[in-house]
Amino acid sequence: MTYHVVGVQPTFPPSVVVAVKALACELPHEHGLPLSRLSVPEIKRAAIARGIVASIGETTIWRWLSEDAIHPWTHRSWIFPRDPAFEEKAGRILDLYEGTWDGKPLAADDCVLSTDEKTSIQARRRVHPTLRVAPGRAARVEHEYERKGAWAYLAAWDVRRAKVYGRCEQNATTGETWIHFHR
What digits encode the pLDDT tens for the residues 40-90?
999 999 999 999 999 999 999 999 999 999 988 887 777 888 899 999 999
Which of helix, strand or coil describes residue 61? helix
Going by C-beta distance under 8 Å and a sequence separation of 6 or more, which residues neighbour residue 62? 40
CB 139 within 8 A of CB 133: yes
**Residue 156 parent element (H or E):** strand 145-158
Cβ within 8 Å of residue 16, ≥6 positions away: 52, 53
pLDDT band at residue 173 using 50, 70 and 90 as cut-offs: low
The percentage of the chain sitting over the pLDDT mark of 90, rounded to a whole number, equals 39
151 pLDDT more than 80: no
Average pLDDT over residues 111-126: 80
68-77 pLDDT, tens digit each: 999 888 877 7
Q: 119 with 172, same domain?
A: yes
Q: Do 120 and 86 reside in the same domain of the chain?
A: no
Three-state helix/strand/coil letters over 93-121:
HHHHHHCEECCEECCCCCCCEEEEEEEEE
Question: Per-residue pLDDT for 98 more than 70?
Answer: yes
Same domain, 61 and 30: yes
Domain range for 95 is 79-107
The answer to whether residue 7 scores a pLDDT higher than 50 is yes
Say yes or no: 121 and 93 in one domain.
no
Residues 144 and 163 both lie in one domain: yes
Q: Give yes or no: residues 117 and 95 share one domain.
A: no
Domain end residue (candidates: 91, 107, 123): 107
Per-residue b or e along 88-97, where b marks 16 or more CB atoms closer than 10 Å to that residue's CB: eeeeeeeebe
Q: Are residues 123 and 169 in the same domain?
A: yes
| 115 and 165 part of one domain | yes
Q: What's the burial of 38, exposed, middle or buried (CB within 10 Å: 0-12/13-18/19+)?
A: buried
Within a domain: residue 22? yes
Distances from the Cα of 157 to the Cα of 101, 111, 167, angstroms = 18, 10, 13
The tally of domains found in the chain comes to: 3
For residues 86 and 28, membership in a common domain is answered with: no
Question: What does the pLDDT read at residue 183?
Answer: 47
pLDDT averaged over the chain? 82
Sign of the alpha-carbon dihedral angle for 71, 76, 82, 88? negative
